[in-house]
Structure 1
Amino acid sequence: MFRLLRRLVDSVLVLCLIAVLPGIPPYEKLTSYKLPEPFSASGHLSSNNLLASAQNLFVGEIHGPESVVEIEDPKHGVSEVYTGIQGGAILKIVDGGRKYEVVARTGHCEYKWDAKNCGRPLGLRSDGQGNILIADAYKGILRLDPKSGELVTLVSSSEPIEGRPPALPNSVEMASDGVIYWTDSSIYPLHAGAMALFGQATGRLIRYNPATGENNVLMEDLHFANGIQLSPHEDFVVVAECFRHRLTRYWLKGPKGGTREVFANVPGSPDNLKLSPSGNMLAGIVVPRFSEYPWYLDFETLTNNAWLRLIGIRPFALTRMILEMGAKYLPPPLNTFTLWMSYHDGVMWLASPWNKFLSRIPPKGPMVLLRSEGDVTFDLL
């Protein structure tokens, strides 16, 4: 009993020491914040089996298809489906979903887990002219001609935007006038997910004007700015704040132009956002949060107590620094392990940054959505 108590005390002392060591992230001051009240898993949000008919494609062959985009082929009158995966590849789904082809890679690397060099395509959108807009977590905002495989960098992650370079480009959207809106999730890169999760709200909504090549920050202090979606009339844009369990609206036009507000609190961590053909908004929830699941209160304890988040971040940051030093200074192949450790209308497509497959739902049954007009209501798909 004494040994157990001693180990507990020693562990607490070590954590406290790490928490006050200089030169280790987070460099910003952490503050506490409260999550919105959890939803009840009842009524429209009751569990159902509407997704049970999903077909899982390429199981074990691909990893992390984060986003899916359909590109119209006017010449043949069909839509072609594309997704981006871990390792930097952009895939075209062919032969009715039985095969895929690699049409491009956003980076060049030897090991697919070396995301800094491989690239990590996250959000994908059509530019309306047959090209794919890509938000790559390490490369920036890219434009791909899927026919030729030509990639053009529109916004480079190495170029500062109003004082700092983008650390995690995540999602992208284009307006009818060609202006591009995109999210920079955090001051920490994708492989430092714990830092982004427990750190401060440092995400941004950015507007890129292709005509001038300029980027302007529209919103700051977003808690992991994730999915993005323009309204049907393009008078506002909605951004998913993943770790605040809410959607935030930025008004582009009208009497509220240039202001922000909470668009909706949602039952979990929102990721990608898309409009349905009817103009309603689809919100993908990474982790659901309901009052019936008390285990999630552990996360709320962390958000309510900044010092607990600091203690949680520091050991991770110290470990990552050591691993990255090994990846930098050890010769190959000895650096391989540390490198891997440090970079961690009918048919509906379901994508996930973690799944080792891509899912699609046959066109049957209603598509129940988060409505974007009038009062905001929810349905569980």
Structure 2
Amino acid sequence: MMSSLSTISLLLLLSLLCAVISVDAQFVASLQPLPLPILMSGPHSFAFNSTEKGFYTGVSGGAIIKYTPEKGFVRFAQITESSNSLLCYALQEPISSKMCGRPAGIAFNEITGDLYVADALLGLHVVSPAGGLAVKIADGVDGKAFESLNGLDVDPTTGIVYFTSLSSQFSAYQMHLLLRLNDATGKLYKYDPSTKVVTVLMEGLGGAAGCTVSSDGSFVLVSQFTKYNIIRYWIKGPKAGSSENFSNSPSRLHPSSIRRIGSTGNFWIAAVQRVTNQTAVAKVDSNGEVLQRIYLPLLYDFLSEVNEFDGSLYFGSLTERYVGTLKL
């Protein structure tokens, strides 16, 4: 249970992040862009393999690409056979997504080496450690097709996959409509590789943009873009199967993602303010205590994720043609 002091600290953080009007010049100068291969854009989410120094990200055209300092970006996998076609990059999103795929949330099962992918329109997929064509696991549950899948994480203790749908009506490219109509049709799903069954854990979520599992596998956090908060769903313990508010933002900041930082027990939250187009990130622990904050105004059209690995931060977006990196 988060203490009242920790709750107040997190609320104050989010309020301050929205109110800041000055920019950390040293931070802006330290942010290094890694340009994507030509025609590719929108590095939505990141996955890291503990045995390597690089990262993986899903981009427009249905491709998943791998980056290492030695080789730069190389193609690792694709959602459909069509993803290799130039047409997938000639067509604009979201039109290309229906034919080619659009990887959103991605994460590794570090035990098996499998990469799980929540494709925005084409369902839940898995990619073998060798890469190549992704295998579709499911495109719906209980006779209902998935809509606008967005966030995904793998429980590091069990290998169970948790993923979210942003909305049953709107895509990530229609955030203005999702906000205007106060949409609350998002869902949290669970996929168990041992039983190959997908179940719905939560419904009625307001723009479930991202999710992450705690390092001990006791709970999963889900960001609600339209409701300005993050929900904690308990997986284990006396509260298993129940949910509660993990944080709330009184300053109209929309959390777009939340990601676990290795086995530290901490998390990075990425948030945006659509009215002023400001972007903020905050590091918090499992009790909500604020550990660090960074303010990034006007650097991204839409910050989809911030993730940390091996001493660096990685910034993703829906539309940019580069990955932002920052040495901590």
TM-score by length of 2: 0.73
Aligned to 1:207: 190
- Please give the residue correspondences for 1:1-381 in structure 2 after superposition, counting only pairs within 5 Å: 39-41=15-17, 47-49=23-25, 51-52=27-28, 53-58=30-35, 61=38, 62-73=40-51, 78-96=52-70, 99-107=72-80, 108=82, 110-112=87-89, 113=92, 114-128=96-110, 129-156=112-139, 159=140, 161-162=141-142, 164-175=144-155, 176-190=157-171, 192-199=174-181, 200-266=183-249, 268-277=253-262, 278-287=264-273, 345-362=310-327, 364=328
Report how far residue 47 of structure 1 moved: 4.9
Unaligned runs of 5+ in 2: 1-10, 279-309
What secondary structure is seen at the aligned counterpart in 2 of 1:51? Answer: helix
Q: Whole-Å Cα distance in 1 between the matches of residues 255 and 36 of structure 2? A: 25
Report how far residue 44 of structure 1 moved: 9.8
CA contact (8 A) 1:162 1:217 kept: no
Between the aligned residues of both structures, percent identity stands at 27
What secondary structure is seen at the aligned counterpart in 1 of 2:222? Answer: strand
Report how far residue 135 of structure 1 moved: 0.9
Unaligned runs of 5+ in 1: 1-35, 296-344, 365-381
What secondary structure is seen at the aligned counterpart in 2 of 1:233? Answer: coil
- How large is the Cα RMSD of the aligned pairs? 2.9
Q: Deviations over 1:160-213 (max 9, x none)?
A: x24521111111111222211110111025255444333320000111122222
What secondary structure is seen at the aligned counterpart in 1 of 2:245? Answer: strand
Aligned to 2:285: none
Report how far residue 279 of structure 1 moved: 1.8
Counterpart of 1:173 in structure 2: which amino acid? D
Q: Whole-Å Cα distance in 1 between the matches of residues 26 and 219 of structure 2? A: 31
Report how far residue 101 of structure 1 moved: 0.9
Counterpart of 2:65 in structure 1: which amino acid? L
CA contact (8 A) 2:121 2:149 kept: yes
Aligned to 2:288: none
Counterpart of 1:117 in structure 2: which amino acid? M
Q: Whole-Å Cα distance in 1 between the matches of residues 143 and 134 of structure 2? A: 27
CA contact (8 A) 1:65 1:83 kept: yes
Report how far residue 49 of structure 1 moved: 4.1
What secondary structure is seen at the aligned counterpart in 1 of 2:230? Answer: strand
- CA distance 1:233–1:356, shift in 2 (3 Å): same
Report how far residue 68 of structure 1 moved: 1.4
Count of residues in Structure 1 that have an aligned counterpart in Structure 2: 268
CA contact (8 A) 1:71 1:131 kept: no
CA contact (8 A) 1:138 1:169 kept: yes
What secondary structure is seen at the aligned counterpart in 2 of 1:262? Answer: strand
What secondary structure is seen at the aligned counterpart in 2 of 1:243? Answer: coil
Q: Deviations over 1:310-331 (max 9, x none)?
A: xxxxxxxxxxxxxxxxxxxxxx
Q: Whole-Å Cα distance in 2 between the matches of residues 57 and 121 of structure 1? A: 19
Q: Decide which structure has greater strand share.
A: 2
Q: Whole-Å Cα distance in 1 between the matches of residues 234 and 26 of structure 2? A: 34
Q: Whole-Å Cα distance in 1 between the matches of residues 36 and 241 of structure 2? A: 45
Q: Deviations over 1:337-379 (max 9, x none)?
A: xxxxxxxx212211111212111112x4xxxxxxxxxxxxxxx
TM-score by length of 1: 0.63
Q: Whole-Å Cα distance in 2 between the matches of residues 269 and 45 of structure 1? A: 18
